[in-house]
Amino acid sequence: MNERTRTVTAFAGVLTVVGLVLIGSYGAVDGYLLESPGELFAPSVGALAVVLLVVGGLTVLGTQAGRQLETSYW
């Protein structure tokens, strides 16, 4: 893979993440800040906490995997 392909792929990845953050932010503002979430507030906070833990754990594993994958096989 050449440097240009890596740059384009990285840019597409960043745009995807930014798009997902914008969609999620719009949903949070529309669903919780503008309207009362009612009885779904506690489960939503719990789900958000689980998602943050899973994403954080995967991020930690991913940052440590760089040293482990530097073999001739990969």
Q: Residue ranges of the domains in the chain? A: 1-35, 40-73
Q: Assess whether pLDDT exceeds 60 at residue 73.
A: no
Q: Assess whether pLDDT exceeds 90 at residue 68.
A: no
Is pLDDT larger for residue 61 or for residue 55? 55
Tell me, yes or no, if the pTM score tops 0.75: no
2-31 b/e (C-beta count within 10 Å ≥ 16 → b): eeeeeeeeeeeeeeeeeeeeeeeeeeeeee
